[in-house]
Amino acid sequence: MPIPPRVLKRRELARTRLFRVEELWLRFANGAERVYERLCEPLHGAVLVVPLLDDRTLVLVREYGAGLDQYALGFPKGAVAAGEERLAAAERELREETGFGARRLEFLKTLSLSPAYMGHRIDVVVAWELFEAPLPGDEPEPPEVVTWPLARAAELLAREDFSEGRSVAALYLVQDWLAGRFRR
Amino acid sequence: MPIPPRVLKRRELARTRLFRVEELWLRFANGAERVYERLCEPLHGAVLVVPLLDDRTLVLVREYGAGLDQYALGFPKGAVAAGEERLAAAERELREETGFGARRLEFLKTLSLSPAYMGHRIDVVVAWELFEAPLPGDEPEPPEVVTWPLARAAELLAREDFSEGRSVAALYLVQDWLAGRFRR
């Protein structure tokens, strides 16, 4: 592996309620120096849950996304709270957003958002053996729960409102996992 | 489809060289009001290129990612310039990052980054019939070009340094495309 650049200096450029931007002075192994900006990650990580109603059926949520100013289909996800375990956070988000609890949860893979510019990582978790166990969320309107047969995965992938890179990746990862093709 | 909330007011909260954060006052169809933050997208969009050396071999780049402060494997990508066509931008990024031009390029799907918080979208393009055609890039050190057999895709997916959600999604999309399973 190559030698990572040395961080000569860093400073905070901007901070809002949700976002923090940092400036980094870097010296690369070959002597080149650059000033880069990065968006810092949330403190305790995040989880994305792929809920399986059964072996052949996904649970999706349709929610307003302020980033795109559109309603989007995707998987439940959210930030991990301080001291919260990853699978506990996954089940909490699942209950808040879909009303389902899960008897079985398994971590699959950590995905990053944009390695060059952002520190964000999210843990993809598959959840199955679901049961009714709603928890109140803080959404302005309850997310619409949409069940989707895995046999129609290609149709889901072709939809413009199923566009989030991490949800697309997670859908494929879970299909590999179900088919026994998933590797760690 | 549900009725999107009305944007009552918006204002810029922070602006740096790379990032712009906006605050939105929203009124949802049910009357609920919320103040949201979003990260605005780059002006002219972005492209991610999956280069195929042949039907069985991917081209990847290994680059330092300041967001994660780690070297990461992924596909070439970058911002589209003003007035630049999407496939032209894809080939330019490919030449700058890998030294290959492509006789054939095809758009597959637009991926979003984080619909709830970010406006960013990237167009996934597959490139094939490659030939040597390097263009100078602005990287502090030239990206390392790594060829990877598609037969070992599961091994790539299991690597911690191949983590970017959009690259993972693009790898699967191109495999579907190669297998004739890809749908628009």
Q: Which residue of B has its CA nearest to A33?
A: B140
CB contact under 8 A, A118 and B67: yes
Q: What is the pLDDT of residue A131?
A: 98
Task: Locate the domains of chain B by residue range.
Answer: 6-39, 46-178
For B2-40, b/e burial (b = at least 16 CB within 10 A) is eeebeeeeeeebbeeeebbbbbbebebeeeeebebbbbe
Amino acid type, B29:
A
Q: What is the pLDDT of residue A184?
A: 85
Write the pLDDT tens digit of every residue in A33-87: 999 999 999 889 999 999 999 999 999 999 999 999 999 999 999 999 999 999 9
Spatial CB neighbours of B35, under 8 Å, sequence gap ≥ 6:
B23, B24, B25, B26
Among residues 33-52 of chain A, which lie with CB inside 8 Å of chain B?
Answer: 33-34, 36-39
Q: What's the average model confidence in pLDDT over B4-27? A: 96
Distance, in Å, from the CA atom of B171 to the CA atom of B169, rounded to the nearest integer, reads 6
Among residues 143-172 of chain B, which lie with CB inside 8 Å of chain A?
Answer: 144, 154-155, 157-158, 160, 163-166, 168-169, 172
| SS3 (DSSP) at A32 | coil
CB contact under 8 A, B140 and A5: yes
Q: Where are the beta strands (DSSP E) in chain B?
A: 6-15, 20-27, 33-39, 46-54, 57-65, 70-74, 77-79, 100-112, 121-132, 144-149
Q: Kind of pairing, strands B121-132 and B46-54?
A: parallel
Q: What's the average model confidence in pLDDT over B140-167? A: 96
Contacts of B144 in chain A (CB under 8 A): 2
What superfamily in CATH does domain A46-178 come from? Answer: Nucleoside Triphosphate Pyrophosphohydrolase (3.90.79.10)
Q: What is the pLDDT of residue A56?
A: 96
Write the pLDDT tens digit of every residue in B40-98: 998 899 999 999 999 999 999 999 999 999 999 999 999 999 999 999 999 999 999 99
Amino acid type, B80:
V
Contact at 8 Å (CB) between A161 and A71? Answer: yes
Confidence of residue B13 (pLDDT cuts 50, 70, 90): very high
List the single best residue of A1, A124, A138, A157 to mutate versus B (max B Cβ within 10 A). A157
